[in-house]
């Protein structure tokens, strides 16, 4: 006889997610260089689709039907999503949503935990991740949280180093006072 209905449903879900991930992987591989003006627009399309797939697999994984294949598929989608978000967050013109997502993932914090710590409303970080825009006050609070958590991982090379203090100018030449050496010392 055939498989029980729950195994058949899980199998279909996994097959569809694998097909979708095949297409998303091809789209990710075809993204232009991060410096290209089209990079974020194209990456955002892929990320949006992957968020939908991730949500569907999260729902499938939260049912009472046991299916290791569904959680494996969900894990694979989350890993690839996180990887693309990290790539996008370090690219020029990265959105605040991409930056806070990668920062909080590196810090092992949930969106709710960071929102609480930053003093912003619940759900804001999820909205930003999906392309929403914060108010100036929300942006300032989120930027403060990013800084407090050590900055966006992978952008350390983009940080402006603090200037080293200038050394005092010595008025001595090889231990001699310059006024004693004079201009003819040669």
pLDDT cut 70: percent of the chain above it: 79
Q: What angle do CA 46, 47, 51 make, to 5 degrees?
A: 120
Residue with tokens 């449903």: 9
Strands 172-173 and 176-177: antiparallel
Structure tokens that stand for 170 in this block: 């010595």
Q: How far apart are CA 33 and CA 53, in angstroms?
A: 25
Q: How far apart are CA 183 and CA 64, in angstroms?
A: 90
Residue with tokens 């100036």: 136
Long-range contacts, 123-132 (Cβ 8 Å, 24+): 125/97, 125/100, 125/101, 127/97, 128/95, 128/96, 128/97, 128/100, 128/101, 129/51, 129/85, 129/97, 129/98, 129/100, 129/101, 130/48, 130/51, 130/97, 131/44, 131/48, 131/95, 131/97, 132/97
Q: How many CB atoms lie within 10 A of CB 9?
A: 16
Domain boundaries, the chain: 7-158
Per-residue pLDDT of the chain (186 residues; tens, 9 = 90+): 445 445 567 888 899 999 999 999 999 999 999 999 999 999 999 999 999 999 999 998 888 776 899 999 999 999 999 999 999 999 999 999 999 999 999 999 999 999 999 999 989 999 999 999 999 999 999 999 999 999 999 877 655 555 566 665 555 555 555 566 555 555
Q: How far apart are CA 88 and CA 140, in angstroms?
A: 21
- pLDDT tens per residue across span 31-47: 999 999 999 999 999 99
- Residues 122, 115 contacting (CB under 8 angstroms): yes
Q: How many CB atoms lie within 10 A of CB 127?
A: 15
What's the pTM value of the predicted model, to 2 decimals? 0.76
Please return the burial class of 51, using the count of CB atoms within 10 Å of its CB with bins 0-12, 13-18 and 19+: middle
């Amino acid at each position: 006889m055939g498989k029980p209905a729950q195994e058949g449903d899980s199998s279909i879900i996994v097959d569809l997610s694998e097909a979708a991930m095949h297409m998303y992987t091809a789209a990710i591989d075809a993204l232009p260089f991060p410096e290209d003006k089209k990079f974020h627009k194209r990456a955002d399309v892929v990320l949006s689709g992957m968020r939908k797939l991730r949500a569907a697999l999260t729902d499938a994984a939260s049912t009472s039907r046991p299916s290791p294949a569904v959680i494996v598929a969900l894990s694979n989608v989350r890993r690839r999503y996180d990887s693309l978000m990290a790539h996008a967050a370090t690219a020029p013109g990265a959105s605040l949503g991409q930056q806070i997502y990668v920062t909080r993932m590196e810090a092992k914090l949930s969106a709710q935990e960071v929102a609480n710590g930053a003093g912003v409303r619940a759900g804001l970080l999820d909205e930003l991740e999906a392309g929403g825009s914060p108010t100036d006050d929300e942006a300032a609070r989120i930027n403060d949280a990013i800084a407090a958590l050590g900055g966006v991982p992978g952008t350390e090379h983009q940080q402006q180093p603090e200037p080293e203090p200038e050394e005092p100018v010595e008025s001595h030449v090889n231990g001699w006072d310059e006024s004693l050496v004079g201009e003819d010392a040669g």
